[in-house]
Amino acid sequence: MNLSISSFVRSLAGSSALVLDSPHSGTQYPGDFGFVCAYELLRTAEDSHVEKLYDFAPDLGAHWVEALFPRSYLDANRNLTEIDISMLDAPWPLPVETDPVIMSKVRLGKGLIWRATDDGQPIYARKLSVAEVRLRIRNCWQPYHDAVGQAIAAAHQQHGFSIHINCHSMPSVAASAATDFPGEVHPDFVIGDRDGSTANPALSDLIAKHLRALGYQVAYNHPYKGVELVRRYGEPAQQRHSIQLEINRNLYMNEKSFALTEGFAQLKLSLHSLLSMLLAIDTRKL
């Protein structure tokens, strides 16, 4: 059943303990965005086609939440405190993050509201107003997090545990201004649980072993540990497990044209196998 609570968020209720969300695959660019960089550059911020890779998941009983707005307009995987105040035309009235580690992405132009593309090109030729940023939060960030929180709560209430997979894709090679590791060649998958703080490491290990058995290269907590969506909802001591799963785009798409490649079908079969395995797990027995 479609439970969307916003025109910017798509949410489908499931029947299992498995919850999937895709915060960065949105392609509906709002009319008030006002970007000045090339549209093709802006699109590189998208986790292109991730929603298609997992479109079978609701039929398996998984809960599904999907952002329809683009990541560069507002990044739902960032805390509300990750604000680049230099982008604003007036003082920001709410708390601003001070932790230098958390703010490293803001310095790269990748905070709650992006300042620059992955190769460092400015997105705006203007200052943003406080009002328009708060409107984006109200229309996008809040309903997205409401939907994810509600899905995890429903799964946990029904089954006594929940497995939340935060679904992402990554470029085959890190861009110059995208991460703290520019130029790094990425493996096929990266599993992130913030060093075991958002999920039972045994669950992360099961995922890694399953993917490796299928022939994939898998890294753990490097270069992506997971960010706000796993940090906020992962409580392994309470049997709420949240894992960020990054997929190398080179496995399924042309990174320049954004077109799907022949590898898409095989990758989708592998993900079906992975979700089927997760649906058979009771994390209380790990």
**Full strand arrangement of the beta sheet holding 218-220:** 9-12, 63-67, 18-22, 162-170, 240-248, 189-192, 218-220
pTM of the model: 0.96
Whether the Cβ atoms of residue 9 and residue 143 lie closer than 8 Å to each other? yes
The domain ranges of the chain are 9-281
| Per-residue pLDDT tens over the stretch 25-40 | 999 999 999 999 999 9
On whether the 9-281 domain is CATH 3.40.50.300, my answer is no
| Per-residue pLDDT tens over the stretch 59-90 | 999 999 999 999 999 999 999 999 999 999 99
> What Cα–Cα distance (Å) separates residue 285 from each residue in 145, 202, 280?
29, 10, 12
Whether the Cβ atoms of residue 112 and residue 82 lie closer than 8 Å to each other? yes
Alpha-carbon distance of 154 to 46, in angstroms, equals 28
223: preceding bond cis by omega (within 30 degrees): yes
Judge whether residue 176 has pLDDT over 90.
no
